[in-house]
């Protein structure tokens, strides 16, 4: 894939949708997305079965990025669940910058999709279960007592940060998040020494 290779139409449409969905929510019209991608609605529908399918694929892309991030985390700190947890929180704090304007893309999409059987929701639900389980496994691997409870607390803080960027601001939420996570790690460390 040389650097000069232009993006395929499929990719360009997805990129345009990503930009518009993040800024204005999944309510934006397909016509606008096609225009932003430098093409038209007809061609968009030659690449995506429906708008819902486009939304779902967009979600899958976002989640795939997170999976890549997890792979990197594990590669950077193999066998060190504590460091992996901290790295995860730091990465999440860093990613808050993308959401300052309109908040978490996933949370917004959830709020904007009322139908519980929407394909994108199924994708999100499954991702949440996996992410949650990942944290539980890490907490157990780290030897924390009550790994489920501790994992919930981590998850709670991270999701809370995403929801709060709009009202408190990026910088402060990041600081709070790291401070709280550090406190939690320290607390559980103390408990482990008992």
Q: Which residues bind DNA (CB under 7 A)?
A: 8-9, 27-31, 38-43, 45-47, 50-52
Residue 9 or 107 having the CB closest to its own copies: 107
Give the Å distances, CA to CA, from 122 to 117, 126, 168.
7, 6, 30
In angstroms, give the least distance from the CB of 101 to DNA. 20
Q: Measured on CA atoms in the order 82, 85, 91, 93, is the torsion positive or negative?
A: negative
Closest to 37 in 3D by CA, of 29, 194, 146, 97: 29
Going by the DSSP 8-state scheme, the letter that residue 7 receives in this structure is P
CA dihedral 53, 16, 43, 30 (to 10 degrees): 60
- The residues, any chain, with a CB within 8 Å of residue 72's CB and separated by 6 or more, are none
Judged by CB under 8 A, the residue of 75, 167, 193, 194 near its own copies is 167
Cα–Cα distance, 155 to 181 (Å, whole number): 10
Q: Coil, helix or strand for 63?
A: helix
Asked if residue 65 binds its own copies (CB under 8 A), the reply is: no
Nearer Cβ to its own copies (122/168): 168
Site string for its own copies, 85-114 (x = CB under 8 A): ------------------x---xx-xxx-x
Binding its own copies (rule: CB under 8 A), the pick from 25, 86, 95, 119 is 25
79 contacts its own copies (rule: CB under 8 A): no
41 binds, among DNA, its own copies, none (CB under 5 to 8 A by kind): DNA
Residue 57 CA to chain centroid, in angstroms?
14
> Closest approach of Cβ 98 to DNA, in Å?
23
The token pair at 83 is 């460091």
Residue 42 interacts with, from DNA, its own copies, none (CB under 5-8 Å by kind): DNA
Listed residue (114, 151, 109, 106) closest to 133, CA to CA: 151
Report the nearest approach of DNA to the CB of residue 74 (Å): 37
Q: Which residues bind its own copies (CB under 8 A)?
A: 24-25, 27, 103, 107-108, 110-112, 114, 128, 132, 149, 152-153, 155-157, 159-164, 166-168, 172-173, 175-177, 179-180, 183, 187
């Amino acid at each position: 894939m040389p650097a000069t290779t232009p993006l395929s139409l499929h990719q360009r449409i997805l990129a345009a949708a990503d930009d518009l969905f993040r800024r204005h929510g999944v309510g934006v019209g397909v016509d606008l997305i096609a225009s932003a991608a430098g093409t038209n609605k007809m061609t968009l529908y030659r690449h995506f079965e429906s708008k819902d399918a486009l939304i779902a694929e967009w979600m899958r892309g976002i989640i795939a990025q997170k999976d890549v991030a997890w792979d990197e985390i594990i590669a950077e700190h193999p066998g060190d669940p504590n460091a992996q947890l901290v790295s995860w929180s730091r990465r999440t704090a860093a990613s808050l910058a993308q959401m300052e304007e309109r908040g978490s893309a996933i949370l917004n999409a959830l709020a904007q999709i009322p139908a519980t059987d929407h394909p994108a929701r199924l994708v999100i639900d499954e991702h949440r279960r996996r992410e949650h389980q990942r944290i539980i496994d890490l907490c157990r691997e780290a030897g924390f007592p009550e790994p489920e409870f501790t994992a919930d607390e981590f998850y709670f803080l991270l999701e809370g940060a995403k929801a709060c960027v709009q009202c408190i601001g990026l910088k402060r939420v990041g600081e709070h998040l790291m401070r709280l996570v550090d406190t939690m790690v320290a607390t559980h460390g103390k408990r482990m020494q008992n």
